Structure 1
Amino acid sequence: MADQTQSDSPKTQATDDLKTHINYPVPLSPPLPPISKDIELSRAMSASSKSSLFSLSRSDVLFEDQWLIVVNKPQGVYCESVLSSVPSLLDDSSDSDKPGSQGSLPELHLANRLDRDTSGVMVITKSHKVAAKLVKAFTNHWVRKTYIAFCIGPAPKWEKITIKSGHGRSKFGAWRVYAASDVGRTLPGGSVVRDMETLFEVLSVNGQGHLKELSEQERNEEKVIVIEEKSQLDSNVGKDEILVRAYPQSGRTHQIRLHCQYLGIPIKGDVKYEGVFEWKGRAYDGHELHAESLSLKHPVTDLPVEFRAPLPLWASQALQPLPH
């Protein structure tokens, strides 16, 4: 009997594993393209070299007071390198002439993080207490964020759209879009599918358009609820240059990049999520995504503040009308 029990045990385990596997939610966005591995490695090495030499200048500072310093992070530089270069910037400021300031550098923390190739608004706090308050503000979605993305794909038939879906890591460790109905379900590794929502508005198509004022996110736009349908990128459909503004309602990793991919308008240069690597004879060394603004209540004064980073050149050029 003992021998029989032992021989059945592997079968039972295999059956249980199969059942568990079958119950995992299936991602709706495709896996990482094979080309992305080598390109991402090359970009990471380039960014490491660039980051090791990086130093902030006063022209990078968007706002500063005794509790916060807000900077415009450049593309292709890691957040940690921006943070580590802040002390030298503070040493050079006029605050160092104040009594008691020497030798007492503040406790610096990243309040928000941006992907390596994403540029724009980055907030750094100067004390543990202020950092804790901002962590709570971001966690509770009290911070309003906008991004600008330059996408390549068929021109959207919508001007404004909200897309809702699930978000999580696949069994291969890559971030993927899941069905909205999968939110809360367990993924391989023990994590769960979380909700993800982004409002998009089109700013320009093929250079025709202008920079709209930041909207109050009125809820009369078309909505898309991601349920069971996989996204389809049709290589035979015409490719347009589309500049969009994104208002993320949640703060998931690679959220805007994933939702742009799902909508069939991946971000230019974002090879991880099916964006073009080469466009009009030029190879891109990063994706074109910019953290445009951050609005929140100041963690100490409680007054409303908005931080905006100037548009990068690629966004400004996309808003110029084509010559007749």
Structure 2
Amino acid sequence: MTSPKRFRVVPLEQGMSLRNMLARRVRGLDRDRAAELIRAGGVYVNRLRVRLPQVLVAAGERVVLYTEALDAQPLPPEDLVFVHREQDFVVIDKPAGVPVSPVRETAVGCLSEALIHRLEAEGITRPYVGVVHRLDRGASGLVVFTIRSIANKSLHKQFRDHRMRRGYRLRVRPRPGCEPAGELSCDAPLIKLSEGGVVIGKPGDGRAKAALTHFRLVGAASGSASDPELLLDAELETGRTHQIRAHAAHLGFPIVGDHRYGGDGAGDRDIAPAQLDRLCLHAQRLDFEHPVSGAALAFEAKLPAWGKLP
């Protein structure tokens, strides 16, 4: 990942369009490429993402741009897999490697952007898409979006109050002496780091947030007796950033493919090259109340090949 370019608008550029100003200031960007970069969500003005090339800039404004946005590949809207769809919300089976919402460097290639384009292609003018919860980029499985604002309050409240039940399948490689057996839980508090990710909190640390994850052994996946890989199911009682990943690693069985919490590159061995970027974490089940009727709803996604018992 390249470092972002940062500069201020000078008095001579007062009243210029953002596109023309970038073409003037950034080597290798002509007006067309500058417009493409802006539309891809790679440009911020005063910390706000701007996606309209014709916006006028003012002297003194801070501009940050991420040129890698030009290389981002869109997720084809027709590739979206709807597990459930109605007028207020949708449940989508997210593929691994796709972010739920725009990342810092670009808005292209995320699930919410593809959903917007899908609704536009169906004739909906200026469609609304609301992100209810997130799922790590490398993970796969069920994600719910609102497509009418009327559903926002109920679904967000269910998520905030931990009434939206989420079940996950994960593949782990236990460290020696840390093989899970039966059922176990982890309630280690988590501290969110400013640079991203979390660490396990210590007793009395005011930054630590309560977190509770339940794990259940499903069975052996593969590997030798000395270096096994196991399948587990997990259910969240809370919804902290990277909660399952951090708790699994804390208990001694990091998730296969988790380079952040696995420590020693867990997940590289015996994984096909095309799968190296994926995290063996799959949101398999999602239960919540209908945002309008209050009826109980339950959804389930198909397991990926790595998540099935041999």
Give the alignment's TM-score, normalised by structure 2. Answer: 0.67
Structure with the bigger RCO (C-alpha within 8 Å, sep 6+) is: 1
Looking at structure 2, the residues matched to 116 and 74 of structure 1 have their Cα atoms a distance apart, in angstroms, of 9
Higher-helix-fraction structure = 1
Change (3 A) 1:300 1:244: same
Match of residue 199 from structure 2:
176
1:160-175 matches, cutoff 5 A? 160-169=183-192, 174-175=197-198
Among all aligned residue pairs of Structure 1 and Structure 2, give the percentage whose two residues are the same amino acid: 26
CA-CA distance at 1:169 after TM superposition: 3.1
From 299, 302, 305, the counterpart of 1:310: 302
Q: Which residue does 1:9 correspond to in 2?
A: none
1:61-101: CA deviation from partner (whole Å, max 9, x where unpaired): 100001011111100011121111113323455xx5xxxxx
8 A Cα contact 1:163 1:198, kept in partner? yes
Aligned mates of 1:175, 1:268 — CA distance in 2: 18
Query: Are 2:213 and 1:198 aligned?
Result: yes
The one-character-per-residue Cα deviations of 1:278-307 (angstroms, maximum 9, x if unpaired) are 213755222111111110111111000012
2:192–2:241 contact (8 Å) kept in structure 1: no
| In the alignment, structure 1 residue 278 sits paired with structure 2 residue 268 | yes
Q: In structure 1, what is the Cα distance between the partners aligned to 2:116 and 2:158?
A: 25
Partner of 2:116: 87
**Aligned CA-pair RMSD:** 2.7
Question: Which amino acid is the alignment partner of residue 79 of structure 1?
Answer: V
Conserved? CA contact 1:152–1:276, under 8 Å:
yes
**1:295 equivalent in alignment to 2:287:** yes
Contact kept in structure 1, 2:180 and 2:217, CA below 8 Å:
no
Letter in 1 for 2:201: Y
Q: Distance in 2 between matches of 1:158 and 1:50?
A: 45
CA spacing shift, 1:51–1:299, aligned 2, 3 Å: farther
- For residues 149-171 of structure 1, give each alpha carbon's deviation from its aligned partner in whole angstroms, at most 9, with x where no partner exists: 11112572521011111100358
Name 1:32's counterpart in structure 2. none
Other-structure match for 1:26: none
Matches within 5 A, 1:71-150: 71-80=92-101, 81-93=110-122, 96=123, 103=125, 105-150=126-171
Pair 55,259 (structure 1): closer, same or farther in 2 beyond 3 Å: same
Q: Give the Cα separation in 2 of the matches to 1:272 and 1:176.
A: 11
Aligned residues: 229
Structure 2 counterpart of 1:280, one-letter code: D
Q: Pick closer, same or farther for the CA change 1:291–1:276 going to 2, 3 Å.
A: same
Q: C-alpha separation between the residues in 1 aligned to 2:188 and 2:71?
A: 35
CA distance in 1, matches of 2:156, 2:284: 20
Residue 84 (structure 2) aligns with: 63
CA distance in 1, matches of 2:242, 2:71: 22
Question: What is the match of residue 21 of structure 1?
Answer: none
**Which SS does the other structure have where 2:233 is aligned?**
strand
Contact 1:111–1:135 (Cα < 8 Å) also in 2: yes
Match of 2:251 among 233, 240, 263: 263
Aligned partners of 2:79 and 2:261: how far apart in 1? 34
